[in-house]
Amino acid sequence: MVITVYGPGCARCHETERVVRNVLAELQSDADLQKVSDYQAMAAAGVLATPAVAIDGVIKLSGRIPKPDEVKAWLA
């Protein structure tokens, strides 16, 4: 499983990455966490608002920081 966090490096994007990382550690998941800060790649993925999170290429959330429970639900 690949989790992608899209964000140009704003505070909310770092916070999003932290939330996802903590959930991965908590669940001892071996999912692959990727960070994308390139605008071209973001646009190609269809991201309109950052931070955004995609699981295996499917955008699950954009424009806000996810709650840990949301991340757990995506991984389940």
50 carries an active-site annotation:
no
Give, as one character, the DSSP assignment of residue 28. Answer: T
**Judged by CB under 8 A, does residue 71 bind other proteins?**
no
CB 51 within 8 A of CB 62: yes
**Identity of the residue numbered 41:** A
Interface residues for other proteins in 18-47 (CB under 8 A)?
Answer: 39-40, 42-47
Structure tokens at 62: 């954009």
Q: Which of the following is catalytic: 3, 5, 7, 13?
A: 13
- Concerning whether 13 is annotated as a catalytic residue, the answer is yes
**Which active-site residues does the annotation give?**
10, 13
